[in-house]
Chains A and B, each alone.
Chain A
């Protein structure tokens, strides 16, 4: 096998040696062939790229760029909307808080008014009752003094009569009155 292939190689090498010394790339007789087919291949590649591939990829890239730009714009818009919604929410919250405060104040004022009125009424009642009581006490006191004077006059008349004197009602009364004042 080795000798066979060696023999074949030797024949090929003989040809190669005739063509060029070592470098097959320098075999000038193959150049027209290589150049012709290279030009064909380059033209084909150029046509494939410039007619089909590059416009297609450019379109895809542009479309993607457009999609991304649109998506970013949409996202911006949504963000703005979210911000607006947040502001509205904050405002509603603040309004509700203010309303609550107002109601609290109002209620407090109303309760205070009621309380004041009730207090006043109670004070007036207390005052009236106090006045009534004072009058009653004064009446009782006055009544007591009169009763004492009556008793003293009766007693003094009886005493005078018992001692044998002629009790003049008027003078006894005057004397008792004078005594009671003194």
Chain B
């Protein structure tokens, strides 16, 4: 809806002033070499920034900690901070018995965090703005949580939907609501992340298009600066939200009774 409006406005503006709005072009997946169709194995801009994300995780978590110092260097402190942050989150939200899932949750957190921040580099590509990426992440969490729930508790896992603390009469109604909310989880989980990143990047791009007009450029640059600051916050918060929701879902799987 908003995109259609943008597109219409862009075309309209382009005719008169030379002002060109293409806020969504940054989300196109394109082959880096050659061009042509995007096959599943093609090296695309998405591939490049995924690789850079992995490198960034490697730099922060491995290179920065190579000193193994008791009194940490700055880089090592950042790595330890990330470690402690996620470790404590799992302990507090999910419980001590969920520590075995720590590497998986840490993978999610570091991957999303680094990708969000790399996506803020001008002309880069934000994989976390792609619904295909976030949907895979969210469904991976959804299926993992569901399978862990059934493996650990068998049919008792279905007690998650049967709210025993409510009066018997309204339990079926609650069960229907609970089931619906359970299956909506991966959808909201993935769209929240992709939507936030997409919106922020698109808004910055719109401001950037206005920077071409001399009269508006100071305002546009101010707007970009402000949005960039906000997006730095969003980049962290969305990684945090994705991770903590994963912990909450995992808690349901490990302790299905309310």
Contacts and interface: CB of A to CB of B under 8 A. Distances in A.
Bin the interface of chain A by size: 35 or more
Contacts of A37: 44, 46-47, 50
Tell me what chain B mostly uses at the interface: helix, strand, loop, or mixed: helix
A122 interface: no
Chain B contact residues (Cβ within 8 angstroms of A): what range? 35 or more
B46 A34 contact: yes
Contact of B70 (A12, A21, A50, A67): A67
A33 B107 contact: no
Contact of B54 (A34, A41, A54, A59): A41
Contacts of B3: 21-23
A12 B30 CA distance: 12
A49 B106 contact: yes
Contacts of A35: 40, 132-133, 136
B132 A49 contact: no
A32 B61 contact: no
Contact of B79 (A13, A32, A53, A67): A53
Interface in A26-64: 26-27, 29-42, 44-46, 48-50, 52-54, 56-61, 63-64
B51 A41 contact: yes
B213 interface: no
A25 interface: yes
A31 B42 CA distance: 12
Contacts of B57: 45, 48-49, 53
A64 B54 contact: no
A68 to B, nearest CB: 9
Contact of B68 (A9, A33, A46, A60): A60
Contact of A60 (B25, B39, B72, B107): B72
Interface string A141-177: 0000000000000000000000000000000000000
Contact of A52 (B46, B62, B194): B62
B29 A53 contact: no
Interface of A is mostly: helix
B14 to A, nearest CB: 6
Contacts of A12: 25
A33 B83 contact: no
B198 A46 contact: no
Given A23-B24, A27-B29, A30-B44, A46 B104 contact: yes
19 contacts: A6-B18, A9-B20, A12-B25, A22-B3, A22-B7, A24-B24, A24-B28, A24-B29, A33-B47, A34-B29, A35-B40, A37-B44, A38-B50, A41-B51, A49-B103, A52-B62, A60-B68, A60-B80, A61-B84
Interface of B: 3-4, 6-7, 14, 18, 20, 22, 24-25, 27-29, 37-42, 44, 46-47, 50-51, 53-54, 57-58, 61-62, 65, 68-70, 72, 76, 79-80, 83-84, 102-104, 106-107, 110-111, 127, 129-133, 136-137, 194, 198
Given A26-B131, A35-B132, A57-B83, 7 more contacts: A3-B18, A25-B131, A25-B194, A30-B46, A32-B39, A38-B133, A61-B80
Interface of A: 2-3, 5-6, 9, 12-13, 16, 21-27, 29-42, 44-46, 48-50, 52-54, 56-61, 63-64, 67
